[in-house]
Amino acid sequence: MIALTLAQIAHATSGRLQPAGTATADTVVSGTVDTDSRNLGAGDIFVAKPGEVTDGHLFVDAAAGAGAALAIVEHVVDAPISQIVVADAVQALADLARMVVARVRAEGTLRIVGITGSNGKTTTKNLLARILSDEGETVAPRASYNNEVGAPLTMLRVQASTRFLVCEFGASGPGAIAKLAGLVTPDIGVVLMVGMAHAGGFGGIEETARAKAELVAAVRPGGLAVLNADDPRVAAMAAGAAERGIAVRWFGTTAAADVRAGDIETDAAGTRCVLTVDDEQLPLRLQVLGAHHVMNAMAALTAAVALGVSPADAVARLETVELAERWRMQPMGGQRVRIINDAYNASPDSMVAALRTLAQITGPGERTVAVLGAMSELGEYAGEAHDRIGELAVRLRIQRIVVIGPEARRLFLSAVAEGSWDNEAVYFATADEAYDYLLTELRDGDRVLVKSSNAAGLRFLGDRLGESFS
């Protein structure tokens, strides 16, 4: 974080300062801001956020012991550390982020990109950060820091020397993206796609579309919206951009896109395509598995070019990315048995894309194995969504379908009903049971996809399989 006095932080957070030791209102702090006391060191700032499982106030003393200079709290804690008492620690975190970003933006050349969409946010964020990092100091979220806590923590990492801030905005309901994006008013807003991810929290796909459009509405006057020309719900957001005088740049596979891809081919080494950027054609060899990541690459490239990066440089940097993020289409195992661990998150759209990728990268004499768990946060749409994935797995002729967990049992039943009658589909209540089965079932030439939402925990099963078959 930039250097601020305790008084300035108290003012930004509407808090009451209680200095400790030799500290005064004029004491300057500039350390890292975090809600996890285990990540703190000398001079850092701890935000004591109440949580569902535990309360951050229980760890203020640990933060002081780690050398933290300040704790932002909702009530005074008996600990040897300066404290700022606020009404709401999460809101205080947001208010502090807003002030810090505004100061850096006013004093330097900071450019801000916001990214949202039902799928692909983290991959696109990482691809864009890779492109921009060669242009200047770039701050981007760690992992999927895209909620009311993670997004402000990312924003607070900016310094006076930061040239680019890439923000990822997720949401579980209407208004969340507007609130987060409103903290920074991005120069560029990127909307990837509108799908069924988190549809249960939004009340349906049309409500999801309205929520994603909140990013376009938050782009600063004179800014740019980067929109997916292939998604009708995203394309419709151009009308709102026009009303606000926001320019639009398109990416996709249609002729209308400013950045478009053609001749897309996928194999076990990645995806090849030819990109057209306005009138310039550039071949791209993306190492990240899955043809669906071409759309994420185009979105990142479109934003980067708008920020002044040459298309050729952007493509060259995209080609150096080997892995989008841990547990996202992550190759593991060895040549005999290859594991693709894609179990950090799952929605109907990403599940379809992953299964299709599995089918595409499996060659003659090799066998497709899909290890599937539940998709979370689909609400009333969960049953039908799992039905469709079970049916698709059979239609893609996935040769072994391993379904895990009670929440995913309907997927298994749908696969059986679709035609998986000869033990192609099996069901296990727990990941441990599935692991024991797979140890004896997998054989040379198998290509194994592990896919589920984070809550199902199959990413750890993927890790175990990767180690066992490495």
Domains and CATH numbers, the chain: 4-87 (3.40.1390.10), 108-318 (3.40.1190.10), 330-468 (3.90.190.20)
With 80 as the cut, is the pLDDT of residue 286 above it? yes
Residue 161 reports pLDDT greater than 90: yes
117 in a labelled binding site: yes
Please check the confidence at residue 444 and state whether its pLDDT lies above 90.
yes
Residue 288 pLDDT greater than 80, yes or no: yes
- HEC letters along the chain: CCCEEHHHHHHHCCCEEECCCCCCCCCEECCCEECCHHHCCCCCEEECCECCCCEHHHHHHHHHHCCCCEEEECCCCCCCCEEEECCCHHHHHHHHHHHHHHHHHHHCCCEEEEEECCCCHHHHHHHHHHHHHCCCCEECCCCCCCCCCHHHHHHCCCCCCCCEEEEECCCCCCCHHHHHHCCCCCCEEEECCCCCCCHHHHCCHHHHHHHHHHHHHHCCCCCEEEEECCCHHHHCHHHHHHHCCCEEEEEECCCCCCEEEEEEEEECCEEEEEEEECCEEEEEEECCCCCCHHHHHHHHHHHHHHCCCCHHHHHHHHCCCCCCECCECEEEECCCCEEEEECCCCCHHHHHHHHHHHHHHCCCCCEEEEEECCCCCCHHHHHHHHHHHHHHHHHCCCCEEEEECHHHHHHHHHHHHHCCCCCCEEEECCHHHHHHHHHHHCCCCEEEEEECCHHHCHHHHHHHHHHHCC
User: Residue 163: what pLDDT?
Assistant: 98
Residue 177 confidence (pLDDT): 96
122 is in an annotated binding site: yes
Residue 457 Ramachandran class (φ > 0 left, ψ -120 to 50 alpha, else beta): left
Confidence check: pLDDT of 325 > 90: no
| Residue 293 CB-density burial (10 A; 0-12 exposed, 13-18 middle, 19+ buried) | buried
Mean pLDDT of the chain: 94
For 303, the token pair is: 């934003």
Neighbours of 236 (CB within 10 A): 13
Distance CA 99, CA 184 (A): 9
Binning pLDDT at 50, 70 and 90, where does residue 171 land? Answer: confident
| pTM for the whole structure | 0.91
Quote the CA–CA distance of 53 and 45 in Å, as a whole number: 22
Return the pLDDT at 12.
Answer: 98
Give me the pLDDT at residue 174, please.
87
d(CA 370, CA 451): 8
Sign of the CA dihedral with 455 first, then 456, 461, and 466 last = negative
Q: pLDDT at position 173, please?
A: 80
Asked whether the predicted pLDDT for residue 381 surpasses 90, the reply is: no
> Was 120 annotated as part of a binding site?
yes
365: CB partners within 8 A, 6+ apart? 445
Give the model's pLDDT for residue 205. Answer: 85
Does the structure show a pLDDT above 90 at 420?
no
How much of the chain exceeds pLDDT 70, in percent? Answer: 98
Cα separation, 8 vs 224, in Å, equals: 32
Q: In this predicted structure, what is the pLDDT of residue 189?
A: 98
Short-list 20, 59, 27, 62, CA closest to 41: 62
Considering only 140-144, 347-351, 371-375, 403-407, which range has the smallest mean pLDDT?
140-144
Which one-letter amino acid corresponds to residue 154?
T
Residue 424 has pLDDT above 70, yes or no: yes
**pLDDT surpassing 80 at residue 202:** no
Spatial CA neighbour of 35 closest among 19, 21, 54: 54
pLDDT at 234 over 80: yes
pLDDT tens digits for 261-285? 999 999 888 999 999 999 899 999 9
Mean pLDDT of 178-196: 95
Q: What is the mean pLDDT of residues 50-60?
A: 91
Q: Is the pLDDT of residue 41 over 70?
A: yes
- 237/212 Cα distance (integer angstroms): 9
At 200, is the pLDDT very low, low, confident or very high (cuts 50, 70, 90)?
A: low
The values of phi and psi at residue 441, to 5°, are -85, -40
Tokens 């791209």 belong to 284
Of 210, 148, 236, 207, nearest to 379 by C-alpha is 207
Q: 16-30: per-residue pLDDT in tens?
A: 999 999 999 999 999
Higher-pLDDT residue of 308, 419: 308
Whether pLDDT at 195 is above 90: no
What is the pLDDT, as a whole number, of residue 241?
97
118 belongs to an annotated ligand binding site: yes
The per-residue pLDDT for 51 is: 84
Q: How far apart are CA 413 and CA 144, in angstroms?
A: 32
Instruction: Classify residue 178 as exposed, middle or buried by CB count within 10 Å of its CB (0-12, 13-18, 19+).
Output: middle
* Alpha carbons within 13 A on the beta-carbon side of 243: 8
Inter-helix orientation angle 382-395/409-418, to 10°: 40
pLDDT at 50 over 70: yes
Residues of the chain above pLDDT 90, percent: 86
- Return the pLDDT at 199: 62
